[in-house]
Amino acid sequence: MILAYYTKINKLEFQKYLNNYSIGNVLFFKGIEEGIENTNYFFETKKKEKYILTIYENKITERIKKKNLSFFIELINFLKRKNFPCPQILYNNKRKQLSSYKNKKYAIINFIEGNIAKKVNNKHCYNLGKSLAIFHKTTLYFNKKRKNDFSLNEWNKIIKKNKLPKKDSLFLKKELRYLKKNWPKRLPSGIIHGDLFPDNVFFKKNNIVGIIDLSNACNDFFCYDLSICINAWCYKEKLDLQKMKSLIRGYNSIRKINTQEIKYLNFFLRASSLRFYLSRLMDSQNKKIPKKYNKNPNEYLNKLKYFQSNNLKKKF
């Protein structure tokens, strides 16, 4: 979940962010202390309407580039038109969805009523798989593309840049060589979410009512996206096979995974483990990010080692 707050705002200044919108005056607001990338505030107006103010802090980790903001907004608009449960970005009084204040871009997004799954169960996983497949099938008709700019080449730069113990560095370089050598050339692909962790999904009971944070969305293999979800939803100290099977069953109910994708799923479980280990490592060494926002990189290093020694091809 990419939610945090770096830009501190008092109530008087907060209203200035709203003056370009026809939503009235702020009644209550508070910063959201989650995640890393942007500043986010929850607020309620005197009309009792609830929203999120997002200020794009593109100089914190620089993973969200200004040039990509229009892609994310157009993707969200497209998904809303297709009745996918993502948030609505409000238009300001100039009929634009991005506004500017103090040289920073910002947007106002409607608040989704729902709860994050604190204890993930099989039903959550089934519905998550189903929603992921709907996302993949729906976005096949989206006419914009965005290259995944946080993949193999970027991983290699991070490994070289970070001063790791020699043993750790050699381990990561060996894994990266394996991934480069075996990375598939052709598999079903399209727009992926790229960061569909439990804190990016809202439920009412076991049903999904909201999916947020499309700032990692890009073009890549669908089974890579599926592996990110399995890693995030079905693993706690070791893989929970029942949760994984529920997730895949839900996915297959909308879009059937083919035999080549099954063949590469364990491969992408390793790849996604390395990807999130490296991004967390990079964030943990970024002095602009308060330590309270960082997540433990070793969680994903342990997952990588698990999938190196436990090939799941026979489990499907």
Residue 71 belongs to a domain with what CATH number? 3.30.200.20
With cut-offs at 50, 70 and 90, classify the pLDDT of residue 161: confident
* Within a domain: 16: yes
Q: Both 101 and 168 in a single domain?
A: no
Q: Both 83 and 169 in a single domain?
A: no
Amino acid present at 158: I
Give yes or no for residue 314 having a pLDDT over 70: no
Question: 3-class SS at 262?
Answer: helix
Give yes or no for residue 185 having a pLDDT over 60: yes
* Within a domain: 254: yes
Regarding predicted confidence, which is higher, 162 or 2?
Answer: 162
Task: Give the residue from 48, 81, 110 where a domain finishes.
Answer: 110
Give yes or no for residue 184 having a pLDDT over 90: yes
* Within a domain: 82: yes
- Cβ count near 256 (within 10 Å): 9
Q: Both 165 and 20 in a single domain?
A: no
Q: Both 98 and 143 in a single domain?
A: no
Look up residue 78 and give its two tokens.
Answer: 């497209």
Confirm if 48 and 21 have CB atoms less than 8 A apart.
no
* Within a domain: 197: yes
With cut-offs at 50, 70 and 90, classify the pLDDT of residue 284: confident
* Within a domain: 195: yes
Q: Both 146 and 81 in a single domain?
A: no
Q: Both 278 and 219 in a single domain?
A: yes
Q: Both 189 and 103 in a single domain?
A: no
Task: Give the residue from 84, 110, 136 where a domain finishes.
Answer: 110
Q: Both 301 and 158 in a single domain?
A: yes
* Within a domain: 6: no
Across residues 120-126, what is the average pLDDT?
Answer: 98
pLDDT score at 36: 64
Exposure b/e, 270-300, CB count within 10 A at least 16 = b: bbbbbbbbbbbbbbeeeeebeeebeeebebb
Q: Both 144 and 29 in a single domain?
A: no
Give yes or no for residue 134 having a pLDDT over 70: yes
Separation CA 20–CA 221 (nearest Å): 40
* Within a domain: 3: no
Residues 6+ apart with CB under 8 A from 138: 79, 82, 84
pLDDT score at 312: 76
Split into its structural domains, the chain has a count of 2
Confirm if 47 and 24 have CB atoms less than 8 A apart.
yes
Domain CATH code at residue 253? 3.90.1200.10
Among candidate residues 216, 235, 214, 206, the one with its CA nearest the CA of residue 310: 235
Task: Give the residue from 60, 80, 110 where a domain finishes.
Answer: 110
Q: Both 67 and 153 in a single domain?
A: no
Q: Both 51 and 172 in a single domain?
A: no
- Mean pLDDT for all residues in the chain: 90
* Within a domain: 115: no
Q: Both 106 and 129 in a single domain?
A: no
Domain range enclosing 227:
122-315
Q: Pairing between strand 104-110 and 218-221?
A: unpaired
Confirm if 18 and 41 have CB atoms less than 8 A apart.
no
Look up residue 125 and give its two tokens.
Answer: 């996983």
pLDDT score at 1: 41
Confirm if 178 and 107 have CB atoms less than 8 A apart.
no
CA 37-43-45 angle, to 5 degrees, is 150
Give yes or no for residue 286 having a pLDDT over 80: no
What is the per-residue pLDDT across 9-59, written as a single tens digit (0 to 9) for each? 888 899 999 999 999 999 999 988 765 678 889 999 999 999 999 988 766
